Amino acid sequence: MGKNSMSLRGRDVLALADFSADEIQMILETAKEMKNIIHRDIKKVPALRGKSIVTLFYEPSTRTRSSFELAGKYLGADVVNITAGTSSIVKGESLRDTLYTVEAMGVDAIVMRHKAEGAAEYASKVVSPVIINAGDGAHAHPSQGLLNLFTIMEKKGRFQGLKAAILGDISHSRVARSDIQGMRKMGIEVHLAGPKTLMPRYLFEEDGIYVHDRVEDAIKNADVINVLRIQLERQKSGLFPSPREYARIFGINDARLQLAKKDVLILHPGPMNKGLEISPFVAYGPNSAIQEQVQNGVAVRMAILTHALTGGKEV
Partner 1 sequence: MKTLIKGGRVIDPANAIDKIADVLVEDGKIAAVGENLQAEGAQVVEAAGKIVSPGLIDMHVHLREPGQEAKEDFASGSKAAAAGGYTRVATMPNTNPVIDTAALVKAMQKRAEEDAVVHIEIIGAVTKGQKGEEMAEVGDMTEAGAIAFSDDGHFTKSAKVLLNCYDYLRTFDKVIINHDEEPSLVEEGVMNESHRSAMLGMKGRPTVAEDIAVARDIMLAEYADAKVHVAHISSARAVDIVRQAKARGVKVTAEATPQHMTMTDDCVELFDSSTKINPPLREQKDVDAVLEGLKDGTIDCIVTDHSPHAQEEKDREYIYAPSGFPGLETAVGVMMTDLVHTGKLDVATMIERMTAAPARIFGIEAGSLAEGMPADITVIDPELEWTVDAKKFYTKGSHSPFVGRKLKGRPVMTFVDGKMVMKDGEILA
Catalytic position from the list 139, 141, 234, 268: 141
Choosing from 21, 105, 203, 232, the residue that interacts with partner 1 (CB under 8 A) is: 203
Q: Least CB distance from residue 173 to partner 1, whole Å? A: 8
State yes or no: is 141 an active-site residue.
yes
Tell me if 94 contacts partner 1 by CB under 8 A: yes
Nearer to partner 1, 47 or 146 (CB): 146
234 is an interface residue for partner 1 by CB under 8 A = no
When binding is defined by CB under 8 A, the residue of 21, 105, 116, 232 that contacts partner 1 is 116
Nearer to partner 1, 50 or 92 (CB): 92
CB closer to partner 1 out of 18 and 292: 18
Q: Examine residue 169 and tell whether it contacts partner 1 (CB under 8 A).
A: no
Segment lying near partner 1 (by CB under 8 A), choices 19-27, 82-90, 120-128, 247-255: 120-128
Applying CB under 8 A, which of residues 95, 209, 272, 294 lies at the interface with partner 1?
95
**Is 177 one of the catalytic residues?**
no
- The secondary structure of the chain, three-state, reads CCCCCCCCCCCCECCHHHCCHHHHHHHHHHHHHHHHHHHCCCCCCCCCCCCEEEEEECCCCCHHHHHHHHHHHHCCCEEEEEEHHHCHHHHCCCHHHHHHHHHHCCCCEEEEEECCCCHHHHHHHHCCCEEEEEEECCCECHHHHHHHHHHHHHHHCCCCCCEEEEECCCCCCHHHHHHHHHHHHCCCEEEEECCHHHCCCCCCCCCCEEEECCHHHHHCCCCEEEECCCCHHHHHCCCCCCHHHHHHHHCECHHHHCCCCCCCEEECCCCCCECCCECHHHHCCCCECHHHHHHHHHHHHHHHHHHHHHCCCCC
Residue 210 contacts partner 1 per CB under 8 A: no
Residue 135 backbone dihedrals phi, psi, to 5 degrees: 120, 120
Dihedral over Cα of 146, 159, 209, 252: its sign: negative
Cβ-based nearer residue to partner 1, 70 or 126: 126
Does 96 qualify as catalytic in the annotation?
no
Give, in order, the Cα–Cα distances in Å from 277 to each of 84, 160, 179, 208, 299: 29, 28, 18, 25, 27
Residue from 114, 191, 229, 307 in contact with partner 1 (CB under 8 A): 114
268 catalytic, yes or no?
no
Amino acid at the residue 247? A
User: Applying CB under 8 A, does 124 fall inside the site for partner 1?
Assistant: yes
Please report whether residue 212 would count as binding partner 1 according to CB under 8 A: no
Indicate whether 229 belongs to the interface with partner 1 (CB under 8 A).
no
Q: Is 196 in the site for partner 1 (CB under 8 A)?
A: no
Which residue among the candidates 32, 43, 63, 73 is catalytic per the annotation? 63
> CA-CA distance, 311 to 315, in Å (whole number)?
10
Note if 174 is an active site residue: no
Name the active-site residue from 64, 98, 151, 310: 64
Q: Is 19 in the site for partner 1 (CB under 8 A)?
A: no
Contact between 232 and partner 1 per CB under 8 A: no
Using CB under 8 A, pick the residue from 29, 33, 103, 117 that binds partner 1.
117
Distance CA 1, CA 308 (A): 18
Contact flag: residue 313 with partner 1 (CB under 8 A): no
Kindly list the catalytic residues: 63-64, 91, 113, 141
Residue numbers at the binding site for partner 1 (CB under 8 A): 94-96, 114-119, 121-122, 124-125, 136-140, 172-174, 177, 200-205
